[in-house]
Amino acid sequence: MIALVDKYQRQLRLLVILFGLALLLLVMFGLPINVLQSSIRLATPYVLGAMAAIVASRAGVLNLAIDGMMLLGAFIAVAVLYKTGLDPLVGALLATVAGGVLGLVFAVLYLRIRINLVILALAVNLFIVNATVFFMRTQYGAFGTLADPSIRGLPTIELPFINQLPYLGSLLSGYNAVVYLSWILAAVVWVVLFRTQFGRHLRAVGENKEAAESVGINITRVQIFALTFSGMLAGLAGAFLSIGVLSQFVENMTGGRGWIAITVSLFALEQPIPAFFTALFFGLSEALSFYLQSRPEIQLPPDLLLAIPQIATIAALMIVALRVRAGVLLKRRNFAAQFGKELDKLRQGQFVGGD
């Protein structure tokens, strides 16, 4: 198996690209345009969540509290708009700030008070789920769902000129501000990580803490920045869920999207641009799950269709693991091949231990 992979590496890579292209063509011409549009729209929390995961983990902290941070953002956006008549963009902004504050608190608890990272993340996630339910009941008297006509969703913005383009116009235009912002932020994250001094220090901290420390980089400060930024991205993703789609808050409405976002970043090997496209794929899987449910001629149980994004997640994780494993095996094989041959030559040519 591994021998085959080794021998046909280039062909295999070509195969993967061909498969991707075929999938793309199939999707573009085989599915109605509105499914594609909703794929791109639904990809937004994955794009932002994956960026949140990438920023934190590139700085050497696995942020497993993204789901909780998203949920907080979703709740804050709705709470800010409830019977205040404020612009929905204010809601999105404050959701971002709230996510950032939670990220900062998370960073301080972990880096200063040194609480175990995994326990802390679990605690934050559980706390936010229950705190949002609590405030929903006590503050707003709402059970399960918090909705009100005063909560306006983010308006759709048509991009001038771009919406005139044939075909692409309807794909690239006609979304709300957070969707566009998520595209810009993906690019920003890439630029910050790979083109700025701060980004380089952040990556150095994540990859070899001691190396960063030995040249005088303040590790704690870098990680606090990274986690705060990560929280802001997650908070914004949450705002999209509550006021970007339905203008309401639903108990535990992230539905594990924060966790899927972490998978997206893992699958893309923590590279922002590949993560953006992976997120689109997850958006597609979610849109497909809705689309197929609406088609009565499809004879599949609806529960299974609902689980398409989760099935895609498990498949993605398996592919990541296989890729890593194959990398290790390949390295060993190449080692054995290279030095084994040298050793054989040595055995035939000269006595062992020659000077």
Partner 1 sequence: MTNALEMRHIRKYFPSSGVLACDDVNLAVQKGEVHAIVGENGAGKTTLMSILYGLVTPDEGEILVNGTPVRIGHPHDAIQQGIGMVHQHFKLVPSFTIAENIMLGLEPNRVGFIDGATEAENVRQLAESFGLPVDPNARVKDISVGIQQRVEILKILQRNAQILILDEPTAVLTPQEVSELLTVVRSLAQAGRTILFITHKLAEVKAVADNVSIMRRGKSVGTYATHGVSIRETANLMVGRVVTLQVEKTAAKPGAVVLSADHLLVAGTGGIPAVFGASLEVRSGEILGIAGVSGNGQTELVEALVGLRPVDQGTITFLGQDITHNTVRERRGAGVAHIPEDRMIMGLNLKTNLDENVVVTSYQHEPYSKRGFLQLEPIRQLARDIVEKFSVRSARVGEEIRTLSGGNLQKIVLGRELKGDPKLIIANQPTRGLDVGSIEFVHKTLIEERDKGAAVLLVSVELDEILALSDRIAVMFAGKIVAVLDVKDVTEEKLGLLMAGSSLEHAESAAEKAHL
- Binding residues (CB under 8 A) for partner 1: these are 195-198, 200-201, 203-204, 207-208, 210-217, 331-332, 335-336, 339-340, 343, 346-347, 352-355
Shortest reach from residue 157's CB to partner 1, in Å: 30
CA–CA dist 73, 258 (Å, integer): 12
**Helix, strand, or coil (residue 294):** coil
Q: Which is nearer to partner 1, 143 or 194 (CB)?
A: 194
Shortest reach from residue 182's CB to partner 1, in Å: 23
Shortest reach from residue 319's CB to partner 1, in Å: 22
How many Cβ atoms are within 10 Å of 143's Cβ, its own excluded? 10
Residue 31 Cα distances to 25, 297, 304, angstroms: 10, 15, 20
Q: Which is nearer to partner 1, 9 or 196 (CB)?
A: 196
CA dihedral 189, 194, 195, 200 (to 10 degrees): 110
Q: Which is nearer to partner 1, 59 or 94 (CB)?
A: 59
Shortest reach from residue 336's CB to partner 1, in Å: 4
Whether residue 229 contacts residue 103, with contact meaning beta carbons closer than 8 Å, is answered with yes
Shortest reach from residue 56's CB to partner 1, in Å: 18
Shortest reach from residue 338's CB to partner 1, in Å: 9
Q: Which is nearer to partner 1, 85 or 216 (CB)?
A: 216
CA–CA dist 307, 198 (Å, integer): 40
**Helix, strand, or coil (residue 150):** coil
Q: Which is nearer to partner 1, 134 or 198 (CB)?
A: 198
Residues shown for the chain: 355
How many Cβ atoms are within 10 Å of 138's Cβ, its own excluded? 9
Whether residue 285 contacts residue 309, with contact meaning beta carbons closer than 8 Å, is answered with yes
Q: Which is nearer to partner 1, 314 or 336 (CB)?
A: 336
